[in-house]
Amino acid sequence: MMQQAFSDVVGSATSPKKLINLLRGWPNTTLLPTSLLDKASHNVLTSKDEGIPAMLYGKDPGDPRLRTNVASWLTKFYQPPNPIADQRITITGGASQNLACLLQVFTDPVYTRNVWIVSPAYMLAFRIFDDGGFQRKLRAIPEDDQGIDIEYLRGEIRKSEEKAKADGNNEPLIKPTRPWSKIYRHVIYAVPTFSNPSFKTMTLRRREELVRLAREYDALIITDDVYDFLQWPASLSAQKLSLEKTALPRIVDVDRYLDGGAEREGADGFGNSCSNGSFSKICGPGLRTGWCEGTNKFAFGVSQAGSSHSGGAPSQLTATFLAEALEHGELQRYVYDVLQPSYGKRYQRTMTAINKELVPLGVDVPQTDREVVGGYFIWLTLPGSLKGAVVAQRAKDDENVVVAQGEMFEVPGDTERAGTHFNAVRVCFAWEEEEMLDEGIERLARVIRTLLDEQHTGDDSHSEQRATRESAKDFW
């Protein structure tokens, strides 16, 4: 079967109903800050002091002004005990590009035992790990209502260490020793806040436990912190939908201070976590610009990836535009005054419809007791024995509404937890037009109601067959 790009998914070719796309994880085009970026780019390119350097090779760690302005914004938003220094920030080509760079600099495909991925997982990260040489080393780690299952992870890492010891896997075999990097024995990948796709937020206690575990087993925790700024009160009746400070520290913040911090006496100075940030969700994915935060030593190592050392920091030109927008506070105000209220209203509309249409059918939504929610997505666990692939296919065929089936988010090649997420779907409230969101949920409810009726009468075999033919396993 020909593979289909995730961005090119279309609805039913025969349905008379208008397509409702609850699958695409993009920002709605009305929320792209085009005027803001037009002004910032004009200011940069008409300034001799800023425009000429913007068009040339950048410094390996990235545009100095953007590093300073990102550090300042992060300090105000996360409120760590001490300000975030510029030296902790490296400018990147976005979270996806930087994930590849992190694997290039800090892992060895032989010595690094496994990549442990919190599951359900962001599905487009899998190929990045495959390209890094880890195709047969990906392992899924489940979540509970508090986030990552620490004890399960601990047990699996112990098994992995025993195997490495038996195999004589004691030192890096592929990557040379370099003063700006180190090779970690394990990688742990997570989206701890407003996760894509699970919608969950990892508790502070779990974040602390995860950092301690990473230190014990020489693991690098890579967190995609790309949704953190898109937050609002969870109450569906909340009127004020703007929050300028976060309630939870990132895992990189926990690593910075917990039990003496990442640069405590006896530590190597690289730390055990890094925060992968991006402007894709707050400005637009076409900018391909982000940042990585870690210890000073770690951040410098990121900047020494071969592609950056050769061509200078990625996205140099757009980095200068973003530096301009941040320096005058315009981008921050856009996030707080436009994006948070807009996405908050979309969330309220979608969740109101879910509570009305889906919850009575037995559909479950995680972590309903949170005070703050955010991101782009809501994870829906289906009732009874319904399969995500079946629901997604029938929703497309019968109602012309597209959703993401849970199977998409299973870690490929992992046999320990295969089939765990077959009974779920993910919906996105960021892309589709706001006035269509509740209708999309109503259509999804009709499909689920019909499938439950068919199960009751024993007339659901054709649905299983149709879904199998368009299995998510062919997506890769």
Residue intervals in the chain for CATH 3.90.1150: 6-25+376-475
The model's pLDDT over 27-69, given as tens digits with 9 standing for 90+, comes to 999 999 999 999 999 999 999 999 999 999 999 999 999 999 9
- CA dist list (Å): 279 to 87, 225, 256, 432: 19, 11, 23, 20
Tokens of 383: 């009732």
Q: Which CATH class is domain 6-25+376-475?
A: alpha beta
Task: Read off the DSSP letter of residue 90.
Answer: E
The model's pLDDT over 72-128, given as tens digits with 9 standing for 90+, comes to 999 999 999 999 999 999 999 999 999 999 999 999 999 999 999 999 999 999 999
Task: Read off the DSSP letter of residue 411.
Answer: P
Q: Does residue 457 register a pLDDT over 90?
A: no
The model's pLDDT over 116-163, given as tens digits with 9 standing for 90+, comes to 999 999 999 999 999 999 999 999 999 999 999 999 999 999 999 999
The arithmetic mean of pLDDT across residues 430-455, rounded, is 98
Q: Which of 117, 206, 162 is nearest to 409 (CA)?
A: 117
* DSSP letter string, 305-365: SHHHHHH-STTHHHHHHHHHHHHTTHHHHHIIIIIHHHHHHHHHHHHHHIIIIIGGGT-B-
Q: Does residue 435 register a pLDDT over 70?
A: yes
Q: Does residue 475 register a pLDDT over 60?
A: no
Task: Report the alpha-carbon distance of residue 331 to residue 456 in Å, rounded.
Answer: 53
Give the pairing type, strands 219-224 and 186-190: parallel
Task: Report the alpha-carbon distance of residue 22 to residue 128 in Å, rounded.
Answer: 25
Percentage of the chain exceeding pLDDT 90: 88
pLDDT score at 415: 76
Q: Does residue 469 register a pLDDT over 50?
A: no
Cβ 334 vs Cβ 304: under 8 Å? no
Task: Read off the DSSP letter of residue 101.
Answer: H
Task: Report the alpha-carbon distance of residue 361 to residue 202 in Å, rounded.
Answer: 27
Q: Does residue 4 register a pLDDT over 70?
A: no
Binning pLDDT at 50, 70 and 90, where does residue 8 land? low
The arithmetic mean of pLDDT across residues 216-234, rounded, is 98
Task: Give the CA radius of gyration of the chain.
Answer: 22
Query: pTM, whole model, 2 decimals?
Result: 0.94
The arithmetic mean of pLDDT across residues 300-305, rounded, is 97
The arithmetic mean of pLDDT across residues 373-399, rounded, is 97
Among the ranges given (62-71, 171-180, 282-291), the one the predictor scored with the smallest mean pLDDT: 171-180
The arithmetic mean of pLDDT across residues 452-463, rounded, is 76
Cβ 421 vs Cβ 406: under 8 Å? yes
- CA dist list (Å): 23 to 223, 231, 357, 368: 23, 20, 19, 22
pLDDT score at 458: 75
Binning pLDDT at 50, 70 and 90, where does residue 414 land? confident
pLDDT score at 225: 98
Q: Which CATH architecture has domain 38-332?
A: 3-Layer(aba) Sandwich (3.40)
pLDDT score at 474: 43
The model's pLDDT over 181-223, given as tens digits with 9 standing for 90+, comes to 999 999 999 999 999 999 999 999 999 999 999 999 999 999 9
Helix (H, G, I), strand (E, B) or coil at 137: coil
Residue intervals in the chain for CATH 3.40.640.10: 38-332
CA angle 280–249–284, rounded 5-degree value: 5
The pLDDT mean for the chain works out to 93
Q: Residues, the chain, total?
A: 476
Contacts of 198 (CB under 8 A, 6+ apart): 120, 143, 366, 379
pLDDT score at 340: 99
Beta bridge partners of 472: none
Binning pLDDT at 50, 70 and 90, where does residue 2 land? very low
Q: Does residue 418 register a pLDDT over 90?
A: no
pLDDT score at 177: 84
CA angle 120–155–476, rounded 5-degree value: 30
Percentage of the chain exceeding pLDDT 70: 93
Binning pLDDT at 50, 70 and 90, where does residue 460 land? low
